[in-house]
Amino acid sequence: MLEVCVIDILRAINRCNLSLLTCSMHLFTLVCNNMSTQTTFDTPDRVILDLLRRDGRASVAQLANATGLSASACSRRLRRLEDQRVIRGYRAVIDPNAGSRALTAFVAVRLVRHQREHVQRFQDGVRKIAEVLECHHVTGNFDYLLRVEVPNLEAYEVFHANELASLHNVGQVVTYISMTDLNDD
């Protein structure tokens, strides 16, 4: 990627008779932009990400203590990880029973056609369904794996008949009902 951009710059220099100084400035900007988009993590970054994965409400002081960095250095790292969209947001994990979503189902979906327009219509339709909390494009025997939460089995049956059945391009659906979430400690 970088090589292609450098070649493009050299061609532009050749076409426009840019000065060596202008060329150097373009190349410097390109290299800096390329370096800032690369994501490499050192140990403190990994510690911050690990701790936030387990506790999204961890304070900067807690992160600093875990990494051995000062609070200001840790805060700068956190801001950089957010700016680079490594950390995309913070969410609450809600007890499904408290929010009338006591039944969790994992739904494997196989599409009939795989041309881009058919796949896009399926994806657009799935994004509009409130009961679908996650939708993963997967490899294997199925194309998508959905995490669905509804109040009970009767509600899932209605969801299956009215929402899943109406999605464009669905060829096969296999549902797995979650009995226990082992991560729910």
- Residue 148: the pLDDT is 96
- Residue 96: the pLDDT is 67
CB atoms within 10 A of CB 86: 13
pLDDT band at 182 (very low <50, low <70, confident <90, very high): confident
SS3 145: strand
Mean pLDDT of the chain: 84
Give mean pLDDT, residues 4-30. 52
The residue written with tokens 């969209």 in the block is 85
* 146: Cβ contacts below 8 Å, ≥ 6 apart: 106, 107, 108, 109, 126, 132, 134, 135, 136
Give mean pLDDT, residues 141-164. 96
The residue written with tokens 């400035």 in the block is 25
CB atoms within 10 A of CB 168: 17
- Residue 109: the pLDDT is 98
The yes-or-no verdict on residue 108 having pLDDT over 60 is yes
The yes-or-no verdict on residue 34 having pLDDT over 50 is no
Q: What angle do CA 34, 35, 39 make, to 5 degrees?
A: 105
Give mean pLDDT, residues 14-24. 52
| Number of continuous H segments (helices) and E segments (strands) in the chain | 7, 4
For the segment 51-88, what is each residue's pLDDT rounded down to a tens digit? 999 899 999 999 999 999 999 999 999 999 999 999 99
User: Which of 185, 183, 175 lies closest to 103, judged by CA?
Assistant: 175
CATH topology of 43-83 equal to that of 103-177? no
The yes-or-no verdict on residue 21 having pLDDT over 90 is no
Q: What angle do CA 34, 89, 119 make, to 5 degrees?
A: 80
- Tokens describing residue 158: 């209605």
- Residue 4: the pLDDT is 43
The residue written with tokens 């690990």 in the block is 50
- Percent of the chain at pLDDT exceeding 90: 66
The CATH architecture assigned to 103-177 reads 2-Layer Sandwich (3.30)
For the segment 113-150, what is each residue's pLDDT rounded down to a tens digit? 999 999 999 999 999 999 999 999 999 999 999 999 99
The pTM (predicted TM-score) of the whole model is 0.63
Question: Hey, where are the domains in the chain?
Answer: 2-37, 43-83, 103-177
C-alpha span between 107 and 176 (Å, rounded): 6
As a CATH number, domain 43-83 is 1.10.10.10
* 170: Cβ contacts below 8 Å, ≥ 6 apart: 109, 110, 111, 112, 122, 164
